[in-house]
A and B are shown apart, each in its own frame.
Chain A
Amino acid sequence: MSKGLFKISPGFEDVMPAEYKELVTNGPYGRDLGISDLGTFKELIEEHPLCAGCAEALALRLILASLPNPEDTVIVGSTGCSSLLFPQVAVQNIHSLFGNQNAVATGLKRALRLRFPDKVKDVAVIAGDGATVDIGLDMVMQSWFRRELITTIMLDNEVYANTGGQESGMSPQGAVLNMAPLGKKFPKVNLPEIAREAGCAYVATISPALPRRLGKVVRRAILVAREIGPSYVQIFCPCPTNFKWPSAQVLQKIRDRQKEGIFKVREYVSPEAEAYLARLEVVKQHDEEQ
């Protein structure tokens, strides 16, 4: 996308919404900004209707700030809490149905490659645990088997939050939730391991309690999906509303879970992806020195 498309027609400056004017003058398009620049630019998300203390909302904000190429990124979402937020994001995004996000992204990515063979067009799937590990697992895994060049980001809030707190495949074992009145009978699905086995060239788990690292992970995942193969990022962001935690305690809960070893930061990079990322680093250093 040309950044010039965002210009406001002369004479209309005073009638444009303030946030749009801000986006034109101070948005992140084409500026190679990241997490450490937050606060210095107009973010891609204006405001959102998610609950107070929602770690998923924070994760999304961090993801959007980490996109290496927001001016040419299309997001595919799915049904869930995140889909309430997507309409307010300043990159094009698709909400199709529940669970079919990776299939939609497959068609979209292939279409964009046909139409723009000489241009980078990143396609990132951002969906909750219900859409990714339960209803949509078939389509998620099949997109990895086919080596589709898309990034899949799971917002793991450990519950079907938007429909009122039902057990998901990512809920902790024993958690008493709607539709699991006696507690969940089986452990969290080990999707990172499945992703690696299914052919992802880059797999990482991270949480919004580690913002800089989250930024790096998302960036690497999207870069790997450009050329090497599918990538998967799992972001641990448990739901305060359904687990009935005070809003202000969510990040602390995440940190506690990390300390207890229940949530682990992990990264898997295939040898090809490793070489590719190293090559990009060299190019970046060279560019910076010039």
Chain B
Amino acid sequence: MTTQQVVAPEYLFFEAERERRFMTGSEAVREAIKRANVDMAISYPITPQSESMHLVGDIYAQGYLKEYFRGESEFAVMAAVAGAAMGGVRVFTATAGPGTLRAFEMFPTWAGARLPVVCAFLTRGINSPLTIQPDTIEMAFLLDTGILMFHAENAQDLYDMILKAFVVAEQTDVHIPVGVFADGFFVTHTREEVAVAPADLKLPPYNPYSAPVPVMDMENVPVRQMRDPFVMKSNFISYAAHASWQQEILAAQERARKHVRRYLGGLLDTEHPEAAVLVVAAGTAVSQGREAVAAARREGLDVGLVKLKSLRPFPREELRALARQARALIVPEFNRVGWLAREIKSVVEDTTKVIDAPRVFGGMTMPPDLILDQIRRCYA
């Protein structure tokens, strides 16, 4: 393996000269993990995620990680990842769709236990009927688990967001898990040009003693309280303790904002934010939105684009300000429930401005024309 040099995150993210390579989203996951100084990765197959963890296995064989194995199910993997994180190492895993739901009990547990796990969710539809098609519905379920959520538009984002996720997750004032989401197949199985830092550079190692909770290594005094605050029955103090702990997880999400702004360059990106009509999207819907916005502007329509990068923390103030001056917010989504439109409606002052369409699901593609139709309707 290449001997890797530890560099500051800022250098790796912003200064190191990047090489442009043609790769899939799954390969972008591999490239991120190669540079993330990950101690342990645990895998379990599910389409369309499997290839990414195959590739992480390959770089383990090359010596980039110290430990890698296949667990017995998604729930078991997320549990083993928790044990590893409690033992004080940097861990990574990935899943998708039905795997996410099978593992679900672990996600609020990760957040509640303040574990800085980074997990890639390479999204897929949920049964039944059986589907392996792209769909972002699993994100709707995860919004309130306490984990941070970044949504990649493309392989470049996936590479950058995974690397940066470790640094955000491990800040002492944050120290909660980060899910990095990318739309299955659309991102994982297509190839594009991705700019990556040299493979002989890596992030500084995780320092388990930077955690705001004790690492379970018997190298510090075991207070007579387990790692997770436990709720004894019929005990007023424990109700209060649990409630305040939940608030603390939310507060950690809030404190993550400054780090997300610093490393991701903001919770959202905008193009023509002053426009009267804004297309607001996350994930690959941003790409479709960009196409539609370009076509609409060629027709002389005053349209802008808002790309949401962070969903937790949610760019509440930023969206509210944008919505104030816009006439309409068009929210195209790759899922049936329209969770993003719901989220946006929950923060803007005038919810009638939010157009929760177009929406495709079950693996359908979204022709930019559908978005363009919505834009034209605003001007009809």
Point out residues on A near B: beta carbons under 8 Å: 1, 5-6, 19, 46, 49, 71-74, 76-77, 83-84, 86-97, 100, 103-112, 114-116, 121, 138-139, 142, 146
Contacts and interface: CB of A to CB of B under 8 A. Distances in A.
**Top 4 nearest A-B pairs by Cβ distance?**
A111-B87, A107-B83, A107-B84, A103-B79
B85 A92 contact: no
Nearest to B230: A87
Interface in B58-104: 66-67, 69, 71-73, 75-77, 79-89, 91
Contact of B221 (A5, A83, A93, A108): A5
Nearest to B225: A87
Contact of B88 (A6, A83, A109, A115): A115
Nearest to B227: A94
B83 A106 contact: yes
Nearest to A112: B87
A107 B216 contact: no
Contact of A92 (B42, B73, B106, B218): B218
A104 B219 CA distance: 19
Max chain A Cβ within 10 angstroms of own Cβ: one of B85, B86, B87, B214: B87
Q: What is the predominant secondary structure among interface residues of chain B facing chain A?
A: loop
Contacts of B228: 94-96
B67 A87 contact: no
A108 B79 contact: no
Nearest to A46: B224
A87 B219 contact: no
A92 B222 contact: yes
Contact of B79 (A46, A72, A100, A146): A100
Nearest to A6: B221
15 contacts: A19-B224, A86-B230, A91-B218, A93-B227, A94-B86, A96-B82, A96-B83, A100-B76, A103-B75, A103-B80, A106-B80, A111-B87, A111-B88, A138-B76, A142-B71
A108 B87 contact: yes
Contact of B89 (A5, A46, A115, A139): A115
A104 B77 CA distance: 9
A139 B76 contact: yes
A56 B218 CA distance: 25
Interface residues of B, number: 45
Nearest to A49: B232
A94 B208 CA distance: 16
B211 interface: no
Contacts of B105: 97
B331 interface: no
Nearest to B235: A49
B224 A88 contact: yes
A110 B67 contact: yes
Max chain B Cβ within 10 angstroms of own Cβ: one of A19, A83, A121: A121
A112 B86 CA distance: 10
Given A94-B83, A111-B89, A103 B216 contact: no
B104 to A, nearest CB: 11
Nearest to A88: B224
Contacts of B182: none
A229 B300 CA distance: 72
A273 B347 CA distance: 63
A142 B76 contact: yes
A74 B89 contact: no
A104 B80 contact: yes
B127 interface: no
Nearest to B221: A5
B111 to A, nearest CB: 13
B232 A107 contact: no
B84 A87 contact: no
A243 to B, nearest CB: 21
Max chain B Cβ within 10 angstroms of own Cβ: one of A90, A100, A121: A100
A164 B90 CA distance: 39
Given A92-B222, A95-B226, A138-B72, 13 more contacts: A86-B226, A92-B218, A93-B227, A94-B226, A95-B228, A96-B82, A103-B75, A108-B84, A111-B40, A115-B208, A116-B217, A138-B76, A142-B71
Interface string B145-169: 0000000000000000000000000
Max chain B Cβ within 10 angstroms of own Cβ: one of A46, A74, A76, A109: A74
Contacts of B106: 97, 100
B220 interface: yes
Contacts of A76: 83
A104 B224 contact: no
Given A87-B224, A92-B214, A114-B40, A1 B230 contact: no
B18 to A, nearest CB: 30
B72 A139 contact: yes
A92 B217 contact: yes
A107 B218 contact: no
Interface in B198-221: 208, 214, 216-221
B82 to A, nearest CB: 6
Contact of B217 (A100, A112, A139): A112
B89 to A, nearest CB: 4
A175 B279 CA distance: 63
B91 A72 contact: no
Given A88-B224, A92-B227, A97 B79 contact: yes
Contacts of A107: 40, 42, 79-87, 91
Contact of A103 (B76, B89, B227): B76
Nearest to B73: A138
B234 to A, nearest CB: 10
B109 interface: yes
Contacts of B222: 89-93
B79 A139 contact: yes
Given A73-B218, A89-B224, A93-B226, A114 B66 contact: yes
